[in-house]
Amino acid sequence: MWHVLTSDQELLRDTTARFLGDQVPLSRLRKDRDDPAGFDPGYWATGAELGWTSLLVAEEDGGGSVSGRGAVDLALIAYEFGRHAAPGPLVDCNVVAAALSGQEGDVQRAALAEILAGKAIASSCLGAAPWQRPDEASVTIRREGDDVVIDGTVRPVESARQAGWLLVTGRSDGGMSQVLVPAGEAGIEIRPLKGLDVTRRFASVTLDGVKVPRAFLVGRQADADAAVAQQLQNAAVILAAESVGAMDAAFQMTLDWAFDRYTFGRALASYQALKHRFADMKSWLEASHAVSDAAAEAVADRTDLAQEAASAAKAYIGEWGPELAQDCVQLHGGIGVTYEHDLHFFLRRVTLDRLLYGTPAEHRRLLAAIQIEREQAA
């Protein structure tokens, strides 16, 4: 990351890097590829103690950041997650924790305490999004007396089988609604999905007439549009920084290979055609650093351009992250496409991050809608 860091931020970043290097090296990730969760519960609980889940939560709710700019601090952690291809629901737990911060309900406060302590995992079921038309939502939420009823299917949902809580976003008459649902509630079916990223686990979540009391609503019914937009900004910052970390790892690995590998008595890096490819990759990487950092700072400071910065980062890095990683594979030659080589961990990470919480096309669609709305208001 290119932020100017305080000593506390450096400590947070370096502590996370050492912990990930010790606890989840790539050799461990290979051994855990068939583990249902992908990580040990103690690993995630210790991460929560290090501050992984609390940086977007207000201090009065048990959270707090080391710099007062939670999104920037969280981006530092996300970058290390990408650089180590680390497992764990960093995005979802932070998105849900931030959504619950400031909520007055007993259920919401109890769930938040469990998430902050690493005792429970929370997953986000995004069944409606700002770039969708109302009829494109995959989840509906309606009132029925003193209860709310949820119907629909969301996929993919990270760590859904390990989650204690699901934050379900759906469409109601008049706007989006969000409900905090215990994962074991009647009417919920969770089916594991085959995933591209061997270090993370995803599932399909179907909610068939799931009924919970109105007290489980997060905010007011049909009034969650602004809250969902904020959550998407948070997710975009985390995913962008994580992808940049993976891009950095893949690029450095390939650069080292090009100087170590000799063909016809010359280092691979000495060939002019390959120099041009490295120059392209370096420009994508530097631009990705810049747009990721700008998004984290805009979201942390809640500027008027926060949504645009977050969507721009998600769209740009979503396009060029996989492109860079694919070039790295090609430059490695045959060894780059083998499972035994480490490079595929980072290719998988950036490819999957491209799809989560909105594809580049969907975020460009959102950016266009923002611009059109601004021009109409002028």
d(CA 180, CA 168): 6
Question: Whole-prediction pTM value?
Answer: 0.95
Domain span(s) for CATH 2.40.110.10 in the chain = 122-223
Quote the pLDDT of residue 273.
Answer: 85
Question: Class assignment of domain 226-377?
Answer: mainly alpha
3-state secondary structure of 223: coil
3-state secondary structure of 220: coil
Question: Class assignment of domain 7-117?
Answer: mainly alpha
- pLDDT (average), residues 5-10: 93
Q: Which two tokens stand for residue 358?
A: 């909105």
Quote the pLDDT of residue 85.
Answer: 97
3-state secondary structure of 195: coil
Q: Does residue 250 register a pLDDT over 70?
A: yes
Q: Does residue 315 register a pLDDT over 60?
A: yes
Quote the pLDDT of residue 3.
Answer: 67
Q: Does residue 2 register a pLDDT over 80?
A: no
Q: Does residue 262 register a pLDDT over 90?
A: no
d(CA 19, CA 47): 8
- pLDDT (average), residues 321-331: 96
Quote the pLDDT of residue 132.
Answer: 92
pLDDT band at 1 (very low <50, low <70, confident <90, very high): low
Burial (CB count <10 Å: 0-12, 13-18, 19+), residue 263: exposed
Quote the pLDDT of residue 265.
Answer: 77
The domain 122-223 is placed in CATH, from the list 2.40.110.10, 1.20.120.80, 2.60.34.30, 3.90.79.10, at 2.40.110.10
pLDDT band at 155 (very low <50, low <70, confident <90, very high): very high
Q: Does residue 321 register a pLDDT over 70?
A: yes
Q: Among 27-41, 169-183, 253-267, 342-356, which is the least confidently predicted range?
A: 253-267
Domain span(s) for CATH 1.10.540 in the chain = 7-117
pLDDT band at 267 (very low <50, low <70, confident <90, very high): confident
d(CA 98, CA 88): 17
Half-sphere exposure of 200 (CA within 13 A, CB side): 30
Quote the pLDDT of residue 270.
Answer: 79
Quote the pLDDT of residue 65.
Answer: 94
| Under 8 Å between Cβ of 291 and 251 | no
pLDDT band at 263 (very low <50, low <70, confident <90, very high): confident
Domain span(s) for CATH 1.20.140.10 in the chain = 226-377
d(CA 121, CA 239): 18
Query: Long-range contacts of range 41-47, CB-CB < 8 Å, 24 or more positions apart?
Result: 43/87, 43/88, 44/88, 44/89, 44/118, 44/121, 45/117, 45/118, 45/119, 46/19, 46/118, 47/19, 47/88, 47/118
First to last CA, the chain: 36
The separation between CA 106 and the C-alpha centre of its own chain, rounded to angstroms, equals: 27
Beta strands 165-172 and 122-126 are: parallel
Q: Which two tokens stand for residue 155?
A: 């996929």
Q: Between 263 and 173, name the one with better pLDDT.
A: 173
3-state secondary structure of 179: strand
pLDDT band at 58 (very low <50, low <70, confident <90, very high): very high
Quote the pLDDT of residue 123.
Answer: 98
Task: For the chain, give the mean pLDDT.
Answer: 95
d(CA 185, CA 346): 36
- pLDDT (average), residues 256-277: 84
